[in-house]
Amino acid sequence: MSAHRSNRPLAWLLFGTGGFLVAFFFPIHIFLTGFAEPLGLVPTPSRASMLTLLEHPLTRIYLAILLIFAFWHAAYRLRDTICDALDVRRLDTVVVSLCYAGAMLGTIATMVLLVCVP
């Protein structure tokens, strides 16, 4: 009888890549969008110039990769955080379904928004 094989390595690959991308790129995005621009530490670019940037295919590829992996990274970790912090490992099937459904929703929203750039 073969041993039960976990499907975790595949999910970990998404988590690991997401963790890498989040570590390198999220802090600067949060700093600029969440602090520097609202507090006036740096000039806020106009909507027209941001749209020009967003229309470039490389920007959209970058954002798609960053955000999709970030959602899967968050879902993988959120599943274990909920199970460990709230002591509900017995509900793992429900928790993992909800977390990965959220990541799937985030992936679809990212694709729709980045494909539909006017």
Partner 1 sequence: MPQYSAYQPKAYRPQMSPYWYFDRWPYLRFMVREASCIFVAYFAVVMLLQIRAIEHGTAAYAHFQAWMSCPVVMILNAIALVLIIFHAVTWFALVPRVFVRHLLGPVMPDLFAAVPNYGAWFVASLVVALFALRFI
Q: Point out which residues bind partner 1 (CB under 8 A).
A: 18-20, 22-35, 37-38, 42-45, 47, 49-51, 53-54, 59, 63, 67, 70-71, 73-78, 80-81, 84-87, 102, 106, 109-110, 113-114, 116-118
The total number of residues written for the chain in this structure: 118
d(CA 52, CA 59): 10
Tokens of 38: 């609202």
Q: DSSP string spanning 2-60?
A: PPPPPSHHHHHHHHHHHHHHHHHHHHHHIIIIIIITTTTSSPPPPHHHHHHHHHSHHHH
What is the closest distance, in whole angstroms, from the C-beta atom of residue 106 to partner 1 in the complex?
A: 6
What is the closest distance, in whole angstroms, from the C-beta atom of residue 84 to partner 1 in the complex?
A: 7
What is the closest distance, in whole angstroms, from the C-beta atom of residue 60 to partner 1 in the complex?
A: 9
The smaller minimum CB distance to partner 1, of residues 2 and 60, is found at: 60
The smaller minimum CB distance to partner 1, of residues 26 and 94, is found at: 26
The smaller minimum CB distance to partner 1, of residues 20 and 94, is found at: 20
What is the closest distance, in whole angstroms, from the C-beta atom of residue 94 to partner 1 in the complex?
A: 18
Tokens of 10: 């595949």
Tokens of 105: 């929703």
